[in-house]
Amino acid sequence: MPGSVPPRIIVAAVAALGLVVAGVSAGTAFAGDRGSRTADLTAVPADDAAKGLVYSGLQRSRPGGPCAAGLLEVKGTSPVMCTHGPDAPPAGLSVKTSVPAMAQSDAAAAGPALAVCEGDGTSGKRVEVLYVHGSASRYSQYLETFRSLAEGVDTIFNESAKETGGERHVRYVTETVDGACRPVVRDVQIADSALNADDWAPLLNAVKAAGYTRTDRKYLQFVDANVYCGIGGLAGDTSKSDANRSNVGPEYARADNGCWTAGVAAHELGHTLGAVNNNAPNASGFGHCTDEWDVMCYKDDPSVTVRTVCTAQSHDNRLDCNHDDYYNTNPPAGSYLSQYYNVADNLFLIKGTGGGGTPTGGNLALTATPSASYTSSWESVNAINDGIDPSSSNDTANPRWGTWPNSGQQWAELQWSSAQTLKRAQVYLFDDNQGIDVPSSWRLQYWNGSAYVDVAGASGYPVTADAYITVTFTQVSTQRLRVLLQSNAASSVGLLEVKAFAS
């Protein structure tokens, strides 16, 4: 309608506003303040056991000591362990109420295996998952839950890497389970007194006594206790070098049973990998960041002001809003992360081909240039390969490509600077029920050097909403892949994401 705002823009604006004002989600942003630490920088805050904010056994970093200013030291451990301190639980979780075990069907839906594994599963720098318990064990009941949560952490790290054109996976200690590569989960029993102590040191010392002290390990601990939500080691080393202290172990990240979620585990593991240093552009000064939405950001002190910079609350389950504080696979020259420590460079991560390169075995669409037959002025063709997985076909929180008010045959295309070997694609259709509908039909085409032709041997083109549609086809080598859509009557069409793979 010329001269008026299309209804879908209004809907998107209202939805985005709702995300901003909705408050802390049940995802990874942590809810509670720690209590002011600004009045006396030599003291630690008072305990708030109900929120898992237990400071017993912690002390302020000492001048000239191993821990950066603003961090804490765990007393009673050798060598001295640095930490950001305890985190309060996200909204919807309680330190005192155990998270239930996943049903087998839910665990399978969360992702039945790691997308990328490396080597023999044990050699080199790796993250090792531990289930730590006392005299009562729930290992068999929660084993699949722990595997799935660890895989969820890997998803957070890799999906965040895709936002800057790279690929990163957690290099876990792995094993083959039913033909699939899965994280190993160690069964670690310690004394009940160490498990339930209002002090992290007794548990750390007990785990070390059980043999988990390797310098090439980060230990991700799922602890069957109700003391903390989460707490993790943080070196606070800002040097841009493989010798950075975040690149060595042993280091420990802990999530107690009230906070057994992938988001909390990713947060605490993120600390052990070097997030967030206090000289980062949006640092809180206490090991976190202040620009939401972000796995590592929250208001961690009354003196801290948090800003909503990345307005899509779905990014509450991703690393580094705007990728300028601690995680960027391809930081611009002269930027903070090009000069100081970058978690994307951590040696405990599998890097694929590194920053800005084509991800090995990953989504090749991330390195392509998109174009389209037509794009509505309020939409963006760049949405089709921005690496953001939609929440539904009417995702209003993230960019979309749409052709309203045009109808008929439309297309969106990926073009690479050199030929790519392609054998599989995934397409997510846009349908807002306000003029953009799923197409009546669609197909994939590639450029054969002189013309566009349909891919051969396509597995089929179902018209499905609210899910990725996967199409396999006979392998081609091409610089261009096109999604050709035929609209339904007078409706328009659109896409939320297109992925392309070599296998």
Residue 327, token pair as written in the block? 């995680």
Residue that terminates a domain, selected from 302, 325, 350: 350
Domain assignment present for residue 355? The answer is: no
Same domain, yes or no: 198 and 173: yes
How confident is the model over 55-110, as pLDDT tens digits? 999 999 888 888 888 899 999 999 989 999 999 898 889 999 999 998 766 665 55
Same domain, yes or no: 344 and 400: no
Domain assignment present for residue 12? The answer is: no
Q: How many structural domains are present in the chain?
A: 2
Residue that terminates a domain, selected from 291, 325, 350: 350
Same domain, yes or no: 434 and 341: no
Torsion of CA 364, 28, 235, 82, to 10 degrees: -160
How confident is the model over 349-404, as pLDDT tens digits? 998 643 333 333 478 888 889 999 999 999 999 999 988 888 899 998 889 999 99
Could you tell me the pTM of the whole model?
Answer: 0.66
Amino acid in the structure at residue 130:
L
**Regions in the chain scoring below 50 on pLDDT:** 1-40, 353-361
User: What is the rounded CA–CA span in Å between residue 394 and residue 402?
Assistant: 11
CATH code, 453: 2.60.120.260
Domain assignment present for residue 15? The answer is: no
Same domain, yes or no: 333 and 480: no
- SS3 (DSSP) at 287: coil
Same domain, yes or no: 337 and 394: no
Rounded to 5 degrees, what angle do the CA atoms 10, 13, 16 make? Answer: 150
Same domain, yes or no: 290 and 177: yes
H/E segment holding residue 154: helix 139-162
Domain assignment present for residue 358? The answer is: no
Q: What residues make up the domain containing 442? A: 364-501
Same domain, yes or no: 318 and 376: no
Region at 350 (left for phi over 0; alpha for psi -120 to 50; beta for the rest): beta
Looking at the chain, the whole-number percentage of residues with pLDDT higher than 70 is 88
> Which residues, other chains included, contact 126 with Cβ-Cβ below 8 Å and sequence gap of 6+?
171, 172, 173, 216, 217, 218, 348
